[in-house]
Structures are given as C-alpha cells and as structure tokens.
A and B are shown apart, each in its own frame.
Chain A
Amino acid sequence: MKQIPAPFWTLVLGIAVTLISLWVGQNHNLLPVQASEQAPLVDDLFNVMVTIGTALFIVVQGAIIYSMVRFRQPKGDETDGLPIKGNLPLEVFWTAIPSVIVVGLGLYSVVVFQEMGGFSPGGHHNHGTMVAMAPQQTVIDVAPLLAQVPEDDVFSRAQVYGFGAGTQSLGNAPDLTVNVTGMQYAWIFTYPDTNIIDGELHVPVGQDVQLIIEAKDVIHSFWVPQFRLKQDALPGESAELRFVATREGTYPVVCAELCGAYHGGMRTQVIVHSTEDYADWMASRVAEAGSTTAVAQSRSDATDGEYLAAIAPNLAKSPVQIAQMAPVTP
C-alpha cells in the first residue's frame, strides 16, 4: 500500500464513483413508460439529478461510514481528537461546487421547462375552449363559475396556467381541444368539436392535444404519470395542458389533489389511439349522438362497481351529479 500514492487511490475512487453514478442515472427504472413528448425531457432532467445525487450520496455516506469506523474511540482512550476548527479552502470548495451544480440544474430546468411549453400556457385563445360550454350547460354545469363572463373573454379574465405549446409547435393551433372538468369524484371530458362527452379521455397518437382544465366544486389535479404532466383543476381559474402523446396504450388519469373522502377513487384513464382507431372511436361516438352517456363512468372492472356503489350515498348532496349519473349505461 505504501508504494502507491494517495492521489492514485483518489483517482481510482473518483472514476469508480463516476461510473457507478452514471450507470445508476440511466438504469434506476424508477419512472413509468414515457408516453408524451414531454416525458423524455423530464426524465432526462431527473436522470441528470439522479447521477449527481448518486455521486454525492456515495461520497458523503462513504465519508460518514469511514469516519464511524476509522475514527471510533480506541478502547480506554478518553482523550480528545484533533483540534481542527476549519479549513477555509475546503469550505470554499464545498460551498462553490454545490453552488455551481444548483445553478446548472436551475438553468437546465429552465430549458426543459421551455421545451415542455411551460412559458406559453393560454397562448391559443381561438380554438374551442369555452365555446362548447353553451350547449352542454345543462349537463356539465360550469356555467355558474363563468356566469358573468363573456364566453370569448375567458382567457383575458384571468391568467391561464399550465403548459402551452412546446417549442416544436409554438405558434400553431392544437389539433384537438378537449375540455376537462374535475368534480367530486370524476373527470368529465368534453369534445367541443363533436359534442362528445366521456368519462375517459381518448386522444390520437402523435397529435397536438390541448386540454382546458377546470373544476366544478373543489380543487382537483389532473395527472397522467406516463405523460409526466400534472395540472390542478381550479374552481374559477382556467388551466391548459398541451401534449403530444407518443405511445399508443391505456394510461391512468389520477386526481392528485385531495378532493374529499373518495379522492382515492377518482381515477379514470386516457386511451391513446392510433389515428385510425381514434377516427373509429369518434365515428362510433358521434353515431350515438344525443345520448350523452358515460359521464363519470370511470372503469369497467369490478372495483369500479364498488367504487360507484360506495360513492352513491355521497352523491345525494349533489343534485347535479345525480343528474349526470342517471343516464349511465353499463
């Protein structure tokens, strides 16, 4: 050991820590599949943070464990340790390095945030949005919240929050707009172009989808983990989520903000169709036109039956919801 100089071992350890951290950063498998254009952006940011975090974790925990073993009290030794009170260069070093790291992460976050469309919510006032509300007022009664507001004035009334067009589609109108309303304890998706109302969100893959999110009663939060996107649905405020789904499949839609006793049951799903399947779905739904069914019908397996049965007593206090629940066809 004596022959090999300490810097050599430091170098070897440094390389080992770097390699382990890089590996962990790419192979942690902690995140679900990526199904939107934003998802890889978020995951790359997370992976970078995991890489840096792993390195810091190993170094600091290593130093703690090493100290606890190497510097434990020798048996019977009641004397004190070394009277070291500080070391300015070392302290400057461990202030400067984290500063550089967090500033770097901050700038990287801004870049990711911009690519995700974080700077442009409310960018498109022209399309759909509230226009569709008028015919459905009897079914989805968001009208009271907007009663005194001219319909075309929704966006100028208040700031719109959330995510707008990403850098890819900045300046373009979305391909599809869906109005999303959260209420205790269901999501309602309204397609203003076709007047389809559904308890599940159907979107075509690869197209630029704009959700206009509001809440009817209390705050909810629209979350699709596979999209890495979340936006609170706020009573009295509009929010936007714009995304391009990149992977066909069925993903959960989860309410992430405590909204009452059955908050945990407020789950439904988003189905990302191929373009053809989406057209078929759209056609079949338009054919059923008039029967605005399926509101608040979240999923078809057994636990949902239990869920609906469980919330039925609770609905008694909300006549609007009863009205919406009534036409549900299993």
Chain B
Amino acid sequence: MAQADISVKPTEAQGGHGHPDKWKWYDYFTFNVDHKVIGIQYLVTSFLFYLVGGFMAVLMRTELATPESDFLTPELYNAFLTNHGTIMIFLWIVPAAIGGFGNYLIPLMIGARDMAFPKLNALAFWLNPPAGALLAASFFVGGGAQSGWTSYPPLSEITANLPQSLWCISLIMVGTSSILGSVNFLITIWKMRIPSMAWDQMPLFCWAMVATALLALFATPVLAAAMVLLLFDINFGTSFFKPDAGGNVVVYQHLFWFYSHPAVYLMILPIFGIMSEVIPVHARKPIFGYKAIAYSSMTICLVGLFVWVHHMFTSGTAPWMRIFFTISTLIVAVPTGVKIFSWVATLWGGKIRYTTAMLFAVGLLSMFVFGGLSGVTLGAAPFDIHVHDTYYVVGHFHYVLYGGSVFGIYSGIYHWFPKMTGRMLNEPLGKVHFVLTFIGTILTFTPMHSLGMQGMPRRVAMYDPQFTSLNQLVTVGAYILAVSVIPFYLNVIWSWRAGKEAGPNPWNALTMEWTTTSPPIIENWEVLPVLTHGPYDYGAERADEVGPAGEAVVPTQR
C-alpha cells in the first residue's frame, strides 16, 4: 500500500509494513490487505446481497399468496428461486460467516497482526463483487438462470443458456475465493498463534474455522469441477451430462452434492464458533465442555464429507447407497447434539445478560433444536422419500440456515460490532429486531413442514388450492421477516456514526480481541499481548483455575 508520506509509529516496525495511522473511508473500497478491512468488506458486501436475496424471497412469497401464477411470470419466478438460493448461500452466509467474521476475528483471537497471506486474502475478497455482478447481469441477458441453485442437467443445459453460463462462472469465482480463504485460515491458525497459546487454549471460534477451512478445501474443488463440466456441456458441445449422447445426469448430482452438503456445514460451523464465543461471555460462565465442542467440530467436518447422497435418495441411487447414507447422516446428529447440550449446560448456573447478542444466540439454540430434529427425520431414507423435494425440506433448511446461520450472524454482529466500529449498537432497537425476527422465523418456516408432508412440492409458482391458507400464513411470516431487517439496518447505520462509545471491552470478555482498542489499531496491538488466562475463564479466581488456562500467571486487565 501507499506509505510514502505517512508517519509510522516505532512499534509498527514489528509488523514489517508501513501504513497510515488509521484507514480512511475510501480505503475500504480498495485492494487493501488489512484483515480487518477485508473482514468488513466481506460483511458489508454480504449484508447488501442479503437485501437482494431477501427482496427476491418477498416477491416469491407474494406470488405464492395465491395458488395461481399471477404475480410473476413462471420464468421470472424460477429465476428468483435460483438466484435467491445462490445469493443467500454464496454471497450472504458463506462470505459473512467465513469471510467476514473469520478474517476479522482470527488474527485478533490468536494474537497475530494479520493473516498469513494478506494479498491472497484481498484477492479472495475481490472475487466476490464481480461474482455478484455476473449474477445481476444474468437477469439482463436472458432473464437469469432458472434451474434452481442445484442446476441439475438436463434442465440447466436447455434453459436460459447464457444466464446459466454466467451463473456457472460466478460459482467458480466464489468457489475459488473460498479455497483461497481456507488456505489462509488454516496456515494462519496453524502458524501464527502467539507462542504462549496452545491448541487447547484457542477460542472455539478458531477451532470451528479450522474445521470449516478443511471442509472447504476438500469439497470446493469438486464443485468447481462440476461447474466447469456444466459450462462445457452448455457452450462447447461436450456431453458429460447429456444422456442421449452417452452422458449421465446422476454424475452431476454426485459432484454437486459432494460439495453442497459440506457447504451446509461451511455455513453452520463458523456459526457454531460464534455461539461458543457469545454464550459464555453473556452467561458469565466458562464454556461447558471445551474439548467436546472443539472435537465435535472436527467430527462434523469428517462425517460431513460422507453424507451427500441423502440429497439424492429419490434419484438414481442404488439401494446400498440409500442405506449407507442414511446411517452416516443420522450419525451427524451426535456431534451436533453434543454442541447443543454443551451450550445449554453453559447457560445453566450462569448469570445471563439479556443482551441482543445473547437473545439471538439463545434464539438460535432454540431454532436449531427443531431444525436438527427435523433433519434427523430427513436422514432416514424411507421417510425422506416421501418428503424429498417438498416444502418439508424447504422448512427444514430454512430453520437451520435462517434460524441457525442468520441468527448466528446477527448474534455475532451485536457482539462484535463494538469491537469493529468502536461504538455500541442500540439495544432497545436490537430487541425489537430480535422479537420480529423470532416471530417471523417461526411463522414463515414452521407451516412449510406441514405443507410438504401434505403434498406440496418445492420450487413451484402454482400449487393445489387446498394449500392456500397455510401458504398465506407463510407469506405473512415472510413479510414480518422483511420488516424485521429495517430496525437492524437503521441501527447499524446510525450506531456506526453516532452510537455510544464502546471502549476496548464493553462485555468484559476474556478472549484476546478485547485486549486491544475498539476499533483495533492497524496492526492490532502496539505490543503483542501475552496469554494470561484461557478464553473462557469466567468466575472464581482465574489464576487458581485448573483447565485450559492452568498456566495463568498475571491477573487479567478486566
């Protein structure tokens, strides 16, 4: 970066770079290599795409308020459902949870001045805006991709070819971004922890990010391969997935789901990490079962690679596969349950602060219990065959992705916004946001389960009139969710400019990011901190504690 005429403080020489005292607003629009700038770039970009994806959802729910196709053309409806899914996954949850929180927090949590590969990091971010632009452009050159976010051939090969090609390229770009980011996270966590921090003294968010990054590294290349093959089939006359020319349509599904099931864990593991940070701070209690939570992340990472065929139980799937993947899928419930139980046990005996961050975290816990249980029912092949590709599935994955991932992102924002901006978010407005979101989520996604079991398939613009009343209930819920974001965005914009000053550690938290100023200075600390206690040593005299922070020597500066 430009450094010529800027005064450099002596301590910054440690970092090896010259840089200004403080970034200006326009630095956030450049190829900046500071992990905190990149984290905020990810977050702001993803929160913008969240609005775009949400707008599409509102239009779809408006269409579904009546059984006939009368508000959108069916082609446009399909374009919205395709891009709603694509945007919410690849340009909202993944970049917000992994790119945003991961980049911002990991160096601060492990006592590093930046990520291991800052330029690679910036490159990874800057692949995202053009990917989003391609999706936007696809609407103007042929009405958008229309074959669902899964884009199964042959439909994807015979429908809207140009937008579909742009969609493929867009996914290859975000996939590449994800791979680059993952390498960076792994190396950073592996090599750049302050020397006094052992693996079992890392905040659990870092463990979650290790699992996330490993999963992304194993799975994402396969998605990229599938996209390249699909792109070639559409544009260059190959026939990988064309049955009448010797191709096979089921192979695509295997390639796609080999990535896209782990993608579910990519979207929830970082959130589990956020949960493990937020809950102890606001319950004023050590996390219950540190090792169990850390290892369960790694278990989910491993088992999560071997469950993808449960998305294909009704497809061209051999009997033994249906059985194998039923069992492997059900097993995922065990490590997930361990996390849930551990968080509940963390609440037990605490002195719980009713902050908005905590409300969203506990709200998530509550939602995830339901979403997890419905997930178990979907794992059992005989029942899945009935509800596969129905609104039951739509209800389930929105429970875990909205009630889970989105609640977690909100919780993380309410928790770390003071660190990122130096200012507190407005709590009463935050509580209005929480209540609206909580009610909206239940109202939108619960009736979907019933609709699916009764016989309503997903991805339809027109449906049997017997399902009208439940659909209208869902539509009302969706409108409440749409309204719920208004207090949030207002809160963020207003508080960023004029919120109450936060100070370095407004929550009295113990992880290392709270030992520096808010917002942190450019290379995070004047002098790197020394680990004096574990990340969750709440209660009692910390120096006397046994456990992860056994070697605590200096009382903390709480």
Contacts and interface: CB of A to CB of B under 8 A. Distances in A.
Given A71-B347, A161-B318, A80 B386 contact: no
A85 B366 contact: no
A223 B392 CA distance: 14
A330 interface: no
Given A49-B383, A67-B344, A303 B366 contact: no
Contacts of B462: 262, 264-265, 307
A90 interface: yes
Contact of B380 (A49, A74, A223): A49
A31 B387 CA distance: 10
Interface string A217-233: 11101010110111110
B362 A83 contact: no
Interface stretch (B118-126, B334-342, B416-424, B493-501): B334-342
Interface stretch (B107-115, B279-287, B518-526): B279-287
A85 B323 contact: no
Contacts of A327: none
A249 interface: no
A60 B545 CA distance: 29
The 8 lowest CB-CB distance pairs between A and B, nearest first, are A236-B243, A264-B460, A83-B539, A225-B455, A81-B350, A261-B74, A67-B347, A264-B462
Contacts of B365: 64
B250 interface: yes
B351 A81 contact: yes
A310 B449 CA distance: 29
Interface stretch (B144-152, B187-195, B266-274, B403-411): B144-152
Interface residues of B, number: 102
Interface in B338-375: 338, 340-342, 344-345, 347-354, 362, 365-366, 369-370, 373-374
A79 interface: yes
A257 interface: yes
B385 A228 contact: yes
B326 A81 contact: no
Contact of B68 (A221, A231, A306): A306
Contacts of B545: 83
Interface string A37-54: 000011001100110010
Nearest to B79: A261
A256 interface: yes
A232 B312 CA distance: 9
Interface in B517-544: 536-540
B162 interface: no
Interface string A107-146: 0011011001011110000000000000000000000110
Interface in A70-126: 71-74, 77, 79-87, 90-91, 94-95, 98-99, 102-103, 105-106, 109-110, 112-113, 116, 118-121
Interface of B: 67-69, 73-75, 77-78, 146-148, 150, 152, 154-155, 158-159, 243-244, 247-250, 283-292, 314-319, 322-323, 326-327, 330-331, 333-334, 337-338, 340-342, 344-345, 347-354, 362, 365-366, 369-370, 373-374, 376-377, 380-383, 385-386, 388-390, 449-450, 453-455, 457-465, 536-540, 545, 547-548
A26 interface: no
A236 B240 CA distance: 13
Interface of A: prevailing SS: mixed
A81 B248 contact: no
Nearest to A251: B455
Contacts of B386: 31, 42, 225, 228-230
A4 B422 CA distance: 52
A236 B248 contact: yes
Contact of A267 (B287, B389, B464): B464
B243 A116 contact: no
Contact of B453 (A30, A73, A106, A120): A30
B389 A68 contact: no
A310 B547 CA distance: 68
Given A30-B450, A94-B341, A79 B351 contact: yes
Given A217-B154, A236-B249, A42 B352 contact: no
Given A73-B352, A83-B545, A94-B341, A106 B317 contact: no
Contact of B377 (A46, A118, A225, A306): A46
A105 B338 contact: no
A217 B158 contact: yes
B322 A113 contact: yes
B427 to A, nearest CB: 14
A94 B339 CA distance: 10
A49 B365 CA distance: 20
A42 B74 contact: no
B319 A121 contact: yes
B249 A264 contact: no
A237 interface: yes
Nearest to B449: A30
21 contacts: A30-B454, A31-B453, A42-B382, A42-B383, A46-B383, A50-B377, A64-B366, A71-B347, A71-B348, A71-B349, A71-B352, A81-B349, A81-B538, A102-B330, A102-B331, A219-B152, A221-B389, A230-B388, A235-B243, A261-B461, A264-B74
B353 A255 contact: no
A321 to B, nearest CB: 14
Contacts of A229: 385-386
Given A46-B377, A71-B349, A82-B285, 4 more contacts: A49-B380, A61-B369, A82-B349, A95-B337
A83 to B, nearest CB: 3
B243 A53 contact: no
Contacts of A61: 366, 369
